[in-house]
């Protein structure tokens, strides 16, 4: 019941705990005042030792009752007084007063420990438990034999007084146990209510997630359709162009748009709306490029990848990169090659980087200048992916080695 934070516990629960602690402090003070007043009267005729203990307990109970009747109702102060002062009184009685029976003192120590655990927290409860065990052990080893030797038979008056004290101690411990059961029952009730609320919230979240999934899927579908419209317009426009070089430029632009359109098409058809298997995507992309290519030569290709799925943020630039490289190979490399072949390999590097190796076995018929739009686009895309490239052109082929950053994994780590 201690340290209830308003940030994590509903106000209704906090109010319930506050009311329970106020109720406990007030009822304990009233009960103690009545019990110890009666015991003070009965012990007055027994011995001054017993009377002094009960009188001090009566005064403490009266002070605590006044605190609870005040406007502040500082129940924590009341619990601290009962726990600490109660332990001191009982421990003093065990170690100093040897002429009285200490049968009930163990019950009072139990009450002190239970009260501290229940109202002030585990730390103070454990401390008082340790101190109680220690004082009981000292009493048994140091004073129990002496007390047994000096004790006398009890009068009927003393037996009644002892019975009253035993009933009081048992009643208080039972009341604390009852409050614990009541608190446990209330907690179970709130737990069930919270479970129902969470279940209802999860159902609502699932419905919202389905709606958002449908919406995102529809967005990808519309983006793909819009890109297809752009492609159709470019094709219609290219048919009105007589210059073959201009038609090639139109086709290159169409290929670039198709590379992006294919991503949205796969996302629309995929269960995962944020990632695509890069191997499958590149396979379909290269087949589309070759189908749209003006060359009639058969080109074999192979894709090897250690990477499974890649997110949209990285996949679009990678798709455009591969589109440019494949288009350049088909356009410049395979005119005099009988067994044309393209190979793409994707490997994982450290720090969320990917190594993409693109190679063909063609003999390039001309050297592309640095001002070529395709090469400028390749450099721009690599820079966007915070990567580097290395080009090796030999008589039997060209190899591009690119090290790029997987932007999605970078964002996750960030």
Strand partners, 345: 304, 357
**CA dist., res. 37 & res. 163, Å (int):** 15
pLDDT at 399 over 90: no
Percent of the residues in the chain that have a pLDDT greater than 90, as a whole number: 6
Pick the CATH number of 299-414 from 3.30.470.20, 3.50.50.60, 3.30.565.10, 3.40.50.720: 3.30.565.10
DSSP 224-264: HHHHHHHHHHHHHHHHT---HHHHHHHHHHHHHHHHHHHHH
What is the per-residue pLDDT for 5?
Answer: 44
Q: Which positions ≥6 away from 206 have C-beta within 8 Å? A: none
Task: Please tell me which residue, 64 or 269, carries the higher pLDDT value.
Answer: 64
**CA dist., res. 225 & res. 255, Å (int):** 15
pLDDT at 208 over 80: no
φ, ψ of residue 103 in degrees (nearest 5): -65, -40
What is the per-residue pLDDT for 266?
Answer: 65
Per-residue pLDDT tens over the stretch 173-196: 888 788 777 777 777 787 787 788
What is the per-residue pLDDT for 283?
Answer: 85
Task: Please tell me which residue, 292 or 278, carries the higher pLDDT value.
Answer: 278
Q: Report residue 233 as tokens.
A: 């317009």
**CA dist., res. 58 & res. 55, Å (int):** 5
Average pLDDT over the chain reads 78
What is the per-residue pLDDT for 237?
Answer: 72
What is the per-residue pLDDT for 130?
Answer: 93
Residue pair 55/40 in contact (Cβ under 8 Å)? The answer is yes
Q: Which of 177-186, 192-201, 265-274 has the lowest mean pLDDT?
A: 265-274
Task: Please tell me which residue, 9 or 362, carries the higher pLDDT value.
Answer: 362
What is the per-residue pLDDT for 220?
Answer: 67
pLDDT bracket for residue 3 (50, 70, 90)? very low
Q: Report residue 274 as tokens.
A: 């944020």
φ, ψ of residue 70 in degrees (nearest 5): -75, 175
Task: Please tell me which residue, 149 or 273, carries the higher pLDDT value.
Answer: 149
Look up the pTM and report it. 0.49
Mean pLDDT of 209-236: 72
Per-residue pLDDT tens over the stretch 303-318: 888 888 877 778 888 8
What is the per-residue pLDDT for 395?
Answer: 66
Per-residue pLDDT tens over the stretch 91-125: 888 888 777 777 788 888 888 888 888 888 889 88
DSSP 8-21: TS-HHHHHHHHHHH
pLDDT bracket for residue 271 (50, 70, 90)? low
Burial class (CB in 10 A: 0-12, 13-18, 19+), 97: middle
pLDDT bracket for residue 274 (50, 70, 90)? low
- β-pairing, 341-348 vs 300-305, is parallel
Mean pLDDT of 339-353: 83
Mean pLDDT of 314-334: 81
pLDDT bracket for residue 127 (50, 70, 90)? very high
Buried b (16+ CB within 10 A) or exposed e, 337-363: beebbbbbebeeeeebbbbbbbbbbbb
Mean pLDDT of 28-40: 86
What is the per-residue pLDDT for 62?
Answer: 93
What is the per-residue pLDDT for 370?
Answer: 44
pLDDT at 217 over 70: no
3-state secondary structure of 56: helix
Boundaries of every domain in the chain = 11-152, 299-414
What is the per-residue pLDDT for 11?
Answer: 66
**CA dist., res. 24 & res. 247, Å (int):** 90
């Amino acid at each position: 019941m201690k340290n209830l934070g308003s940030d994590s516990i509903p106000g209704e629960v906090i109010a319930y705990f506050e009311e329970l602690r106020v109720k406990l402090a007030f009822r304990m003070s009233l009960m103690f005042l009545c019990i110890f007043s009666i015991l003070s009267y009965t012990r007055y005729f027994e011995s001054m030792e017993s009377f002094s203990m009960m009188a001090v307990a009566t005064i403490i109970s009266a002070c605590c009752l006044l605190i609870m009747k005040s406007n502040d109702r500082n129940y924590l102060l009341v619990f601290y007084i009962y726990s600490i002062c109660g332990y001191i009184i009982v421990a003093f009685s065990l170690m100093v007063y040897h002429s009285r029976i200490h049968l009930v003192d163990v019950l009072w120590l139990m009450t002190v420990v239970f009260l501290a655990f229940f109202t002030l927290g585990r730390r103070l409860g454990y401390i008082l438990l340790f101190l109680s065990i220690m004082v009981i052990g000292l009493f048994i080893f140091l004073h129990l034999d002496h007390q047994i030797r000096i004790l006398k038979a009890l009068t009927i008056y003393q037996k009644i007084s002892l019975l009253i004290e035993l009933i009081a101690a048992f009643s208080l411990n039972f009341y604390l146990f009852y409050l614990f059961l009541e608190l446990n029952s209330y907690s179970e009730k709130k737990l069930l209510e919270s479970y129902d609320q969470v279940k209802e919230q999860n159902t609502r979240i699932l419905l919202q997630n389905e709606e958002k999934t449908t919406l995102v899927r529809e967005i990808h579908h519309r983006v793909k359709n819009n890109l297809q419209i752009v492609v159709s317009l470019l094709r219609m426009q290219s048919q009105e162009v007589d210059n073959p070089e201009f038609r090639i430029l139109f086709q290159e632009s169409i290929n670039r748009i198709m590379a992006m359109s294919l991503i949205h098409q796969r996302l629309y058809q995929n269960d995962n709306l944020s990632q695509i298997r890069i191997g499958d995507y590149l396979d379909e992309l290269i087949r589309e490029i070759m189908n749209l290519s003006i060359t009639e030569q058969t080109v074999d290709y192979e894709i090897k990848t250690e990477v499974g799925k890649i997110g949209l943020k990285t996949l679009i630039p990678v798709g455009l990169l591969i589109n440019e490289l494949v288009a350049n190979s088909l356009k410049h490399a395979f005119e005099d090659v009988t067994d044309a072949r393209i190979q793409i390999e994707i490997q994982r590097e450290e720090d969320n980087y990917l190594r993409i190796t693109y190679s063909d076995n063609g003999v390039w018929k001309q050297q592309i200048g640095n001002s070529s739009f395709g090469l400028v686009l390749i450099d721009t895309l690599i820079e966007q992916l915070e990567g580097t490239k290395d080009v090796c052109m030999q008589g039997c082929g060209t190899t591009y080695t690119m090290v790029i950053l997987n932007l999605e994994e970078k964002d996750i780590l960030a």
